[in-house]
A and B are shown apart, each in its own frame.
Chain A
Amino acid sequence: MTARMREGLRTAGFMFALTLVVITCVSALQLATAERVSRNAALFLQRAVMEVAGVPVPDDPAAVASWFQRSVAAEPAAAPTRFSVRDLESGALRAQVFTCQGRGLWGLITAVVGVDPATRSFRQIRFLDQNETPGLGARITEAWFMRQIEGKTGPFVLKPEGTRSAAPTEIDGITGATITSAAVRDMLNGVLSEARKGKEAAK
Chain B
Amino acid sequence: MTATRKWKLFRENLWSQNPVFVQVLGICSTLAVTNVVKNTLVMCLGLIFTTTLSNLALSLIRNWIPPRVRMMVEVLVIACMVIVVDIFLKAFYPDISRQLGPYVGLIITNCIVMGHTEAVALSSPPLPSLVDGFSAGVGYSYVLLLIACCRELLGTGSVWGVHVLGPHWVNWSIMVMAPGGFFVLAVFVWIVKGWFMRPAQKAQA
Contact = CB atoms under 8 A, between A and B. Distances in A.
Given A11-B66, A11-B68, A40-B91, A135 B80 contact: no
Interface range, A side: 20 to 34
A22 B66 contact: no
A44 B177 CA distance: 29
Given A18-B76, A37-B90, A134 B69 contact: no
A7 B173 contact: no
A136 B177 contact: yes
Contacts, number: 70
A175 B82 CA distance: 34
B150 to A, nearest CB: 14
B200 interface: no
A176 B173 contact: yes
B102 A131 contact: yes
A29 B83 CA distance: 10
Nearest to A41: B94
Contact of B101 (A37, A131, A176): A131
B73 interface: yes
B1 interface: no
Contacts of B66: 7, 10-11, 14
A15 B73 CA distance: 7
Contact of B64 (A14, A19, A29): A14
Interface of A: 7, 10-11, 14-15, 18-19, 22, 25-26, 29-30, 33, 36-37, 40-41, 44, 129, 131, 133-136, 138, 175-176
6 contacts: A11-B68, A22-B79, A26-B87, A29-B87, A134-B99, A138-B99
Given A37-B91, A135-B177, 19 more contacts: A7-B66, A14-B64, A14-B69, A15-B69, A18-B61, A18-B77, A22-B79, A22-B80, A25-B80, A29-B88, A30-B87, A33-B87, A40-B90, A40-B91, A40-B94, A134-B33, A135-B35, A135-B176, A175-B173
The 8 A-B pairs of least Cβ separation, nearest first, read A135-B176, A33-B91, A40-B94, A11-B66, A135-B35, A22-B80, A36-B91, A131-B101
